């Protein structure tokens, strides 16, 4: 995917509901710019949220990817390429971003009648993959994904990708 992303983000339109619905955070303009760039091309995995937070000149970006219902089957190498492309695409769309965090979640069955919000809430999703890439290390993201260094993997999720899965 990284090869298909240009160095600048395409202009997003107020009519593009995917960009509007999936962008959030205190720096909404940056989130929308990154979302527009990443959603401009078909993705095998679903990018469900782009969240950008700004504190002064510091901007962090979080990308949430669904770990289920892939648009085509993904094996481990294809997953790693997808994640690398998303991270590289976020940095390309907004080079001033300090850090890109990317994680994948899968839904959890809370059960009927279980509290899913408030102080006693039971989680409704589990994180199965996570990587943090500071801007200074963006050029090494593919190597890190290949080595697994500094990456959280749920063992069952990784095993499913190793066999190839539709999520």
Q: Where are the alpha helices (DSSP H) in the chain?
A: 17-22, 28-39, 76-93, 141-147, 155-163
Global pTM value: 0.86
The pLDDT of residue 154 is 96
Nearest-10 Cα torsion for 129, 151, 40, 34:
110
- Residues of the chain short of pLDDT 70, as ranges, are 1-15, 110, 113-116, 167
The pLDDT of residue 140 is 96
Contact in structure between 110 and 124 (CB atoms under 8 Å): yes
Task: Indicate whether 11 belongs to any domain.
Answer: no
Task: Indicate whether 137 belongs to any domain.
Answer: yes
The pLDDT of residue 6 is 43
The pLDDT of residue 13 is 58
Bridge-based pairing state of the strands 125-134 and 152-153 = antiparallel
First-to-final CA distance of the chain: 19
* Closest alpha carbon to 129 in 112, 145, 113, 147: 145
Domain of residue 29, residue span? 17-163
The pLDDT of residue 120 is 72
CA distance 153 to 157: 7
Specify the number of domains making up the chain.
1
At residue 78, the 3 state secondary structure works out as helix
Contact in structure between 76 and 161 (CB atoms under 8 Å): yes
The pLDDT of residue 11 is 54
Task: Indicate whether 5 belongs to any domain.
Answer: no
Task: Indicate whether 140 belongs to any domain.
Answer: yes
Task: Indicate whether 155 belongs to any domain.
Answer: yes
């Amino acid at each position: 995917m990284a090869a298909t992303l240009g160095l600048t983000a395409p202009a997003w339109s107020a009519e593009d509901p995917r960009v509007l619905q999936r962008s959030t955070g205190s720096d909404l303009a940056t989130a929308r710019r990154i979302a527009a760039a990443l959603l401009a091309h078909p993705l095998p995995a679903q990018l469900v949220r782009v969240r950008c937070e700004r504190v002064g000149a510091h901007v962090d970006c979080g990308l949430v990817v669904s770990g289920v219902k892939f648009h085509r089957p993904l094996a481990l190498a294809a997953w790693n390429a997808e994640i690398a492309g998303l991270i590289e695409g976020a940095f390309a769309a907004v080079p001033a971003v300090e850090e890109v965090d990317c994680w994948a979640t899968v839904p959890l069955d809370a059960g009927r009648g279980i509290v899913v919000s408030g102080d006693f809430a039971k989680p409704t999703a589990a994180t199965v993959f996570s990587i943090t890439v500071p801007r200074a290390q963006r050029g090494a993201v593919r190597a890190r994904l290949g080595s697994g260094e500094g990456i959280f993997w749920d063992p069952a999720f990784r095993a499913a990708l190793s066999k190839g899965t539709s999520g």
